């Protein structure tokens, strides 16, 4: 009998799909196809499903539904590339050119029908090479940071036919945002495409599961996807009553909304965020905002500095890879093989949401700053400052009175400490008694964080960073395996193949300040002057009520609670 506890993944929005594409690529980079290898620590069946396509080929695809605008797919068929016509074209040359066949049929008829052929979208060189078995993509330089136009350009994973869902009412545009308001998203959910078709696709995934844990919802939190995603969460709660882990994300690029200047764009983003956070406090089991900017409410702030990384602040391809690395690491807790029942999605969310604190913050270290010739015990003993960097905008790292869940990966047990006969000074440290990576981190956090509770999971597998992951963001002080070196420098042609990392989710009083600043900015907005919200059905009284509820939610983060 299967003991896999499945999770359904949902992605709403273009930047979310940038992140999701990297995330599914990372997961598939960690697949092992050698039957002699030991079983992976990660149970990929949690997020993947096995199927059979029309050619009787076995497929293994993400249990995923994604949503984007018309024009965002480029070459990718809406039904994916493993099923249907795209497979037939690749495997059956006898089918011929369908356009030529239509022309031949029309020649025999007396008709004035004009045939207009829509030009096919150009494929990125990376996608062309994926179809060429002779080319080793790991030996190529695609310069993806400068020429990616949308997330399908670097998609390595292959999707199920029901995965891709396109909104035809709005067109994708790199220069402006057309799907603008929370209220527009709420209206869109009530259409047949979502209220019936999309919900039916969710139902099909649910019926395929044996022990569904819940859903993971990744969505753009600055435009119309806020309303669409939160309405979907309300449906999930009504129908299935399972855990919902929501990840609202913020793009580092301030693309203006249609018919709006920069101040109005900022105001729309603030209103969308306030309405989304209010709804998330009701519908999500846990929500963790993500972004590489330090501020996002009004005017985007500076890029977060990450040790040994050099990335372009507004590059969607590079920044989304960092957030995907975080997502892949922090979700390991409920994706491990033979994990105890506490390592479930519901347990993960429940541990962090005491006293109604459903909002938590993200923190990340990629790479984990450890020298290539150093043991973990010495690394932690000499460490100064915070272990990681905040990836939640408008929020600082908590240090005291916090509840946190961490996952550390890529540090082998052999790197823990020296054996007894070589231990020398290490034997005097209290941490020398620790026998595992997670135990040593637990001890460190007990000393570093006053009156706090920490859960630590550890996985020996590092984050795989093979192409199409942006290898150019790693500085030359990193070795091929992602550790740091103060003596030797990695050669330019030598790529980093994996990176150790540390990811954390924190519940702390710092989030009270996050909510207070959002409420303050949202209250400053004169909603009556933003006619697009009223046109989409938002009443002033509803907006005021949402802000009042947001302020009440903020009270959960006062310091007068005991852990």
How confident is the model over 259-297, as pLDDT tens digits? 999 999 999 999 999 999 999 999 999 999 999 999 999
Percentage of residues of the chain with pLDDT beyond 90: 79
Write out pLDDT tens, residues 395-430.
999 888 899 999 999 999 999 999 999 998 999 999
What is the 8-class DSSP label of residue 210? S
The Cα–Cα gap between 273 and 521 comes to: 10
**CA nearest neighbour of 507 among 287, 257, 269, 219:** 287
pLDDT of residue 513: 95
User: Which of 271, 268, 313, 272 minimizes the C-alpha distance to 291?
Assistant: 313
**pLDDT at 89 (0 to 100):** 35
CB count in 10 Å sphere of residue 560: 6
Q: How confident is the model at residue 258 (pLDDT cuts 50, 70, 90)?
A: very high
What is residue 38's predicted lDDT score, i.e. its pLDDT?
A: 81
CB atoms within 10 A of CB 7: 22
Relative to beta strand 7-12, strand 58-62 is unpaired
Q: Is the pLDDT reported for residue 88 higher than 60? A: no
End-to-end CA distance of the chain: 39
pLDDT in tens, 484-541: 998 889 998 899 999 999 999 999 999 999 999 999 999 999 999 999 999 999 999 9
Q: Is the pLDDT of residue 234 over 70?
A: yes
pLDDT score recorded for residue 93: 40
- Please tell me the predicted confidence (pLDDT) of residue 98: 54
Strands (E), 435-500: 453-459, 463-464, 498-499
> Is-contact 502 152, C-beta < 8 A?
no
The Cα 10–Cα 67 span in angstroms is: 8
Residue 87 confidence class, pLDDT cut points 50, 70, 90: very low
Nearest to 471 by CA among 448, 453, 491: 491
Average pLDDT, the chain: 91
Q: Is the pLDDT of residue 450 over 80?
A: yes
CA geometry: angle at 304 spanning 299 and 309, to 5°? 140
| pLDDT over threshold 90, residue 341 | no
Using CB atoms within 10 A of its CB, is residue 116 exposed (0-12), middle (13-18) or buried (19+)?
exposed
Find the farthest-apart pair of alpha carbons in the chain and give their distance in angstroms, rounded. 95
Count the alpha carbons within 13 Å of 138 in the hemisphere toward its beta carbon.
8
Domain 8-93+119-354 sits in CATH 3.40.50.920: no
> If residue 60 lies in a helix (H) or strand (E), which one and from where to where?
strand 58-62
So what's the pLDDT on residue 219? 98
Give the Cα-Cα-Cα angle 354, 358, 359 (nearest 5 degrees).
Answer: 125
CB atoms within 10 A of CB 158: 19
CA angle in degrees (0–180, nearest 5) for 3-23-466: 110
* Angle subtended at Cα 194 by Cα 192 and Cα 196, rounded to the nearest 5 degrees: 60
**Position 382 pLDDT exceeds 90:** yes
CA distance 272 to 224: 8
33: its two tokens: 């196809």
Under the banding of pLDDT at 50, 70 and 90, the label for residue 350 is very high
SS (H, E, C) 358-383: CECEEEEECCCCCECCCCHHHHHHHC
Alpha helices in 258-315 (DSSP H): 262-283
Residue 2 has pLDDT above 80, yes or no: no
């Amino acid at each position: 009998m299967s003991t896999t506890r499945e999770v359904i993944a949902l992605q709403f929005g273009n930047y979310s799909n940038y992140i999701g594409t990297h995330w599914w690529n990372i997961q598939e980079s960690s697949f092992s196809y050698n039957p002699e290898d030991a079983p992976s620590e990660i149970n990929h069946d949690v997020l993947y499903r096995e199927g059979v396509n029309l050619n009787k080929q076995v497929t293994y695809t993400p249990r995923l539904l994604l949503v984007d605008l018309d024009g965002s797919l480029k070459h990718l068929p809406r039904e994916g590339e493993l099923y249907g016509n795209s497979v037939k074209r690749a495997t059956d040359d006898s089918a011929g050119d369908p356009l030529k066949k239509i022309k031949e049929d029309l020649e025999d008829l007396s008709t004035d029908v004009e045939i207009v052929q829509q030009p096919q979208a150009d494929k990125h060189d990376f996608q062309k090479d994926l179809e060429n078995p002779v080319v080793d993509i790991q030996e190529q330089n695609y310069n993806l940071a400068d020429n990616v136009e949308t997330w399908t350009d670097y998609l390595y994973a292959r999707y199920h036919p029901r995965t891709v869902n396109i909104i035809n009412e709005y067109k994708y545009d790199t220069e402006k945002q057309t799907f603008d308001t929370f209220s527009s998203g709420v209206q869109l959910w009530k259409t047949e495409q979502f209220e019936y078709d999309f919900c039916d696709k969710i139902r099909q995934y649910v019926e395929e599961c044996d022990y569904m844990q819940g859903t993971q919802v990744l969505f753009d939190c600055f435009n119309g996807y806020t309303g669409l995603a939160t309405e979907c969460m309300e449906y999930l709660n009504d129908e299935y009553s399972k855990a919902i882990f929501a990840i609202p994300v913020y793009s580092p690029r301030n693309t203006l909304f249609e018919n709006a200047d920069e101040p109005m764009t900022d105001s729309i983003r603030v209103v969308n965020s306030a309405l989304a956070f209010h709804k998330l406090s009701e519908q999500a089991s846990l929500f963790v905002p993500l972004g590489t900017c330090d501020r996002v409410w009004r005017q985007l702030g500076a890029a977060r500095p990450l040790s040994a990384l050099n990335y372009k602040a507004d590059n969607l391809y590079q920044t989304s890879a960092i957030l995907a690395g975080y997502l892949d690491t922090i979700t390991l807790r409920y994706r491990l093989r033979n994990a105890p029942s506490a390592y479930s999605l519901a347990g993960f969310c429940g541990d962090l949401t005491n006293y109604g604190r459903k909002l938590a913050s993200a923190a990340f270290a990629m790479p984990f700053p450890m020298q290539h010739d150093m043991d973990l015990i010495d690394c932690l003993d000499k460490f100064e400052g915070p272990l990681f960097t905040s990836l939640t905008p408008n929020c600082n790292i908590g240090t005291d009175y916090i509840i946190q869940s961490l996952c550390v990966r890529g540090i082998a047990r052999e790197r823990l400490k020296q054996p007894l006969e070589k231990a020398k000074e290490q034997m005097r440290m209290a941490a020398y008694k620790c026998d595992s990576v997670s135990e040593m981190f637990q001890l460190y956090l007990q000393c570093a964080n006053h009156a706090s509770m920490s859960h630590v999971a550890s996985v020996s597998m590092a984050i795989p960073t093979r192409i199409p992951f942006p290898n150019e963001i790693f500085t030359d002080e990193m070795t091929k395996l992602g550790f740091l070196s103060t003596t030797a420098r990695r050669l330019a042609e030598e790529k980093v193949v994996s990176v150790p990392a540390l990811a954390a989710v924190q519940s702390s009083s710092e989030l009270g300040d996050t909510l207070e600043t959002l409420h303050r900015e949202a209250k400053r907005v004169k909603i009556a002057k933003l006619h697009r919200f009223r046109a989409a059905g938002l009443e002033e009284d509803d907006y005021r009520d949402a802000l009042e509820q947001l302020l009440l939610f903020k009270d959960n983060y006062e310091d007068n609670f005991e852990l």
